[in-house]
């Protein structure tokens, strides 16, 4: 009996070494883009319960690497690894339930798998679980639970979670308002390049209007977010330059940022840009261009164009007709996001 136990222990050890070697061979094939060999090797290991191999096979089917993309097959392999406790597979399976990719969309199942991965400390799963509690998707809505999971992910350095946890503290959701804690979290995320956090940080610094000590960092964070294509930051920075609040009044610079945000479809920027052209602020007066941006702004949800602009006799019937066609065909542009 004693020797039989030793034999089985030795057999398990040898199998473990063999599985490790097989997985590594599959990984080398995958890295060399020999997906057929990787799939063949990993499939054998996956059938014996190697969760890393299961995840590898799932990724090949999901991305269609060397095979026809098959999200349903991918979901089954993720499920096998997830059931065996692999946190990354649990996260991927949850994401597939959330998106309805390879499985029927099911927020409750998404939450169930996000929770399993989150409890293993996966920050992405903790973040997603926090969002589900925040929005009430698949669970009873709870700011308190949202704060709990978002803070867990934030403590692990996830910038999106830091930003969203900061919003909770700023808006007194899930607890009392704490602007200092909100600012600290926004700063952590902003320093990692999260433009929404950079914008919120700018807003907090700019909220004490007229205090020079806060205006400098406010402008700095507004510029940083604007230069990285955050259209709300572009619009708000333009308004600061236009009004002379927290910055020297600079209409040409305001026009540049309004134009960038307007080109990307920001309705309030389009409306403000219309006013700049209508009244010749920082630019030569141009009633046709003013009407164009006012009509686009209204199409995107802003208030109706000024009646005097619409009925302006300097705009001919032909120009009105041309503008109508232009508005119908207009599409947002990608911003170059350069300095200004």
Give the CA diameter of the chain. Answer: 104
Does residue 188 carry a pLDDT above 50?
Answer: yes
Residue 312's pLDDT is: 85
Give the global pTM.
0.86
For residue 306, the 8-state DSSP code is P
Place of tokens 């269609």: 64
Domain assignment present for residue 242? The answer is yes
339 and 213 housed in the same domain: yes
Residue 12's pLDDT is: 37
pLDDT in tens, 123-173: 999 999 999 999 999 999 999 999 999 999 999 999 999 999 999 999 999
327 and 197 housed in the same domain: yes
Range of the domain at 333: 193-340
83 and 203 housed in the same domain: no
98 and 227 housed in the same domain: no
Domain assignment present for residue 274? The answer is yes
Residue 5's pLDDT is: 45
Residue pair 257/237 in contact by the 8 Å Cβ criterion: yes
Task: Kindly write down the DSSP assignment for every residue of 156-191, as one continuous string.
Answer: TT-HHHHHHHHHHHHTT-SSS--HHHHHHHHHHHHT
Does residue 209 carry a pLDDT above 70?
Answer: no
Which CATH number belongs to the domain containing residue 218 in this structure?
Answer: 1.25.40.10
Give the three-class secondary structure for 70. coil
Apex 239 CA angle, 183 and 279, nearest 5: 175
98 and 201 housed in the same domain: no
Categorize the per-residue pLDDT at 336 as very low, low, confident or very high, splitting at 50, 70 and 90. low
> Which of the listed residues 70, 91, 106 is the one where a domain comes to its end?
106
323 and 226 housed in the same domain: yes
Residue pair 229/337 in contact by the 8 Å Cβ criterion: yes
Residue 310's pLDDT is: 84
Q: What percentage of the chain has pLDDT greater than the value 90?
A: 84
Residue 308's pLDDT is: 79
200 and 81 housed in the same domain: no
Residue 22's pLDDT is: 78
> Which of the listed residues 54, 80, 106 is the one where a domain comes to its end?
106
Residue 8's pLDDT is: 38
Categorize the per-residue pLDDT at 14 as very low, low, confident or very high, splitting at 50, 70 and 90. very low
Q: Cα dist. 198→73, 121, 227, 228, 298 in Å?
A: 41, 27, 11, 10, 28
Residue pair 44/25 in contact by the 8 Å Cβ criterion: no
Domain assignment present for residue 142? The answer is no
80 and 208 housed in the same domain: no
Read off the pLDDT of each residue in 52-73 and give the average, rounded to a whole number: 97
86 and 228 housed in the same domain: no
Domain assignment present for residue 25? The answer is yes
Which among 276, 288, 289, 279 has a CA at the least distance from the CA of 314? 288
67 and 202 housed in the same domain: no
Domain assignment present for residue 2? The answer is no
Which among 194, 190, 195, 221 has a CA at the least distance from the CA of 207? 221
Does residue 1 carry a pLDDT above 90?
Answer: no
Domain assignment present for residue 55? The answer is yes
> Which of the listed residues 91, 106, 121 is the one where a domain comes to its end?
106
Domain assignment present for residue 238? The answer is yes
Domain assignment present for residue 183? The answer is no
87 and 198 housed in the same domain: no
Read off the pLDDT of each residue in 184-195 and give the average, rounded to a whole number: 98
Place of tokens 């619409």: 310
pLDDT in tens, 295-320: 999 999 998 888 878 888 889 999 99
Which among 234, 146, 220 has a CA at the least distance from the CA of 190? 220
Q: How many domains does the chain have?
A: 2
Residue pair 23/42 in contact by the 8 Å Cβ criterion: yes
Instruction: Give me the chain's average pLDDT, please.
Output: 91
pLDDT in tens, 245-297: 888 999 999 999 999 999 999 999 999 999 999 999 999 999 999 999 999 99
88 and 231 housed in the same domain: no
For residue 303, the 8-state DSSP code is P
pLDDT in tens, 19-42: 455 799 999 999 999 999 999 999
């Amino acid at each position: 009996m004693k020797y039989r136990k030793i034999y089985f222990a030795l057999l398990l050890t040898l199998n473990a070494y063999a599985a490790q070697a097989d997985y590594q061979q599959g990984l080398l094939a995958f890295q060399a883009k020999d997906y057929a060999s990787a799939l063949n090797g990993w499939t054998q290991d996956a059938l014996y319960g190697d969760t890393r191999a299961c995840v590898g096979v799932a990724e090949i089917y999901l991305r269609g690497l060397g095979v026809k993309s098959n999200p349903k097959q991918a979901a089954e392999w993720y499920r096998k690894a997830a059931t065996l406790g692999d946190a990354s597979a649990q996260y991927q399976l949850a994401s597939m339930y959330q998106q309805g990719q390879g499985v029927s969309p099911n927020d409750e199942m998404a939450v169930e798998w996000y929770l399993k991965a989150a409890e293993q400390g996966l920050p992405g799963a903790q973040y997603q679980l926090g969002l589900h509690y925040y929005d009430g998707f698949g669970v009873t809505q709870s700011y308190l639970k949202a704060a709990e999971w978002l803070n867990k992910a934030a403590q692990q350095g996830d910038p999106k979670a830091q930003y969203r946890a900061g919003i909770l503290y700023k808006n007194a959701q899930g607890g009392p308002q704490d602007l200092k804690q909100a600012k600290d979290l926004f700063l952590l995320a902003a320093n990692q390049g999260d433009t929404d956090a950079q914008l919120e940080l700018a807003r907090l610094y700019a909220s004490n209007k007229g205090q020079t000590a806060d205006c400098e960092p406010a402008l700095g964070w507004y510029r940083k977010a604007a230069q990285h294509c955050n259209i709300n930051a572009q619009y708000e920075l333009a308004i600061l330059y236009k009004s002379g609040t927290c910055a020297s009044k600079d209409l040409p610079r305001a026009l540049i940022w309004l134009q960038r945000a307007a080109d990307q479809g920001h309705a309030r920027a389009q409306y403000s840009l219309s006013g700049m052209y209508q009244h010749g602020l920082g630019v030569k007066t141009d009633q046709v261009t003013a009407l164009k941006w006012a009509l686009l702004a209204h199409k995107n949800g802003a208030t109706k164009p000024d009646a005097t602009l619409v009925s302006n006799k300097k705009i001919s019937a032909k120009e009105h007709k041309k503008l109508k066609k232009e508005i119908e065909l207009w599409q947002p542009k990608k911003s170059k996001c350069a300095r200004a």
